[in-house]
Amino acid sequence: MAKLKLKKHHINRDWCKGCSICVELCPKNVLELDDQEKVSALRTQDCICCRLCELRCPDLAIEIETLNLGKKIGI
């Protein structure tokens, strides 16, 4: 499997209801709720591209865009 590098967090602020599920699940504390109770990616350099935020967001408000680094190791 190729190593992933973060390209961008796409956060649809209109869809985010501020439930903070993504904030609580992020193993690197990349995400926080802002003063409007919407999620923001504040420490993107710490993101390990695990996609827990994207996979667990009940409103589908987060998408992680990545770059593949190196060769894929496949079957």
CATH number at residue 39: 3.30.70.20
Residue-number span of the structural domain to which 60 is assigned:
3-65
Residue 73 lies in a domain: no
pLDDT at position 4 is 81
Residue 72 lies in a domain: no
Number of domains within the chain: 1
How does pLDDT run along the chain (75 residues), one tens digit per residue?
567 888 999 999 999 999 999 999 999 999 999 999 999 999 999 999 999 999 999 999 999 999 876 655 454
Residue 59 lies in a domain: yes
Residue 11 lies in a domain: yes
pLDDT at position 70 is 60
pLDDT at position 40 is 96
Task: With CA atoms as reference, report the closest residue to 64 among 26, 24, 14, 38.
Answer: 26
The span from the CA of 25 to the CA of 27, in Å, is 6
Is 30 within 8 Å of 40 (Cβ atoms)? Answer: no
Provide the 10 A C-beta neighbour count for residue 53: 24
Residue 26 lies in a domain: yes
The span from the CA of 34 to the CA of 45, in Å, is 18
